[in-house]
Amino acid sequence: MTSKAFFIDNTTSTNNGSTVNVYLNPPFQLDINKKYKLSMIEFNFCYCFPNIITGVNDQFVYSYNSTPHTYTLPQGLYSFTDLQNAINTITVSQVGISNLFTFTYSTVSGKTSIAMSANTQITCGKTYAISLFGFVYSRNLLYNPPNVAFVSDQSAQFNTVKSVNVYCDMITGSYQNNNQSNLLGVITVNAKPFNIQTFDAVQLMSVPVVFQDMIYNFSIYLTDDKGNQLDFTNGNTLNTQYWNIKLRLDEI
């Protein structure tokens, strides 16, 4: 039985958002009279998907001296420090005062604490900016001395992507939720933002390959667990186009 393994990275492909276009030189030659199956052996990529998402958790709503203020942060990938700096920049530009809100993240509990300056209030909610820290506050926070520090209700969740679905357009007969698709595999994400996520197959998901005698190119599509397209190019200043994948083609 013929088996071919091939390793592909961003030097042999072009990246267009959630689609990776791969070009093989030289192409792979197959026996048109035989059947083949494809397996994803390994996939490495940088966690570079936005955790600040337009229209979801991009607004910071607060008041100072009873005057409300709203600021919309650009979509992108933010570390905890990035968020703290962004909010400090916001308050300086809007009211001329820095450190109205000081956030502290506990690596032990995973929760955030917030210290508030006098005459301030934060409006919390699913679509408001306090949720930038992982949807962790379920109530409005009002400066009330001497209790000016608040601890979040639950651990912060900086990862917005729980798993990655990998699709490939040169396969057929794969199924997801009893529906036929081009699904090549599913990667459970456990890396932190800006870190490398590695997929090592414990049990290979082998799927049939479309009948063809030569493989010149193919495309890989990525979505999150909700079916939303993922964008490798939207990750702040990080070089987010780093990825590589190892595939194996087996004769059936």
Give the domain range for residue 100.
Answer: 59-151
pLDDT tens digits along 54-75: 877 788 888 899 898 988 888 8
User: Smallest Cα–Cα separation from 21: which of 238, 241, 221?
Assistant: 221
pTM: 0.72
- Cα separation, 69 vs 101, in Å, equals 14
User: What's the chain's average pLDDT?
Assistant: 79
Distance separating alpha carbons of residues 177 and 175, to the nearest angstrom? 7
Residue 84 belongs to some domain of the structure: yes
Domain harbouring 195, CATH code:
2.60.120.1100
Instruction: Quote the pLDDT of residue 92.
Output: 94
In this structure, are 139 and 178 located in the same domain?
Answer: no
132, 124 in Cβ contact below 8 A? Answer: no
Residue 133 belongs to a domain? yes
- Are residue 146 and residue 166 in the same domain, yes or no? no
Number of separate domains in the chain: 2
CA 11 to centroid of chain Cα atoms: 22
Percentages of the chain per state (helix, strand, coil), in multiples of 5: 10, 45, 45
**pLDDT tens digits, residue range 136-187?**
565 677 888 887 778 877 777 777 788 888 899 888 777 666 776 888 888 9
Q: Which of 111, 131, 151 is the last residue of a domain?
A: 151
The verdict on 106 and 166 lying in the same domain is no
Report d(CA 119, CA 70) in Å as an integer: 16
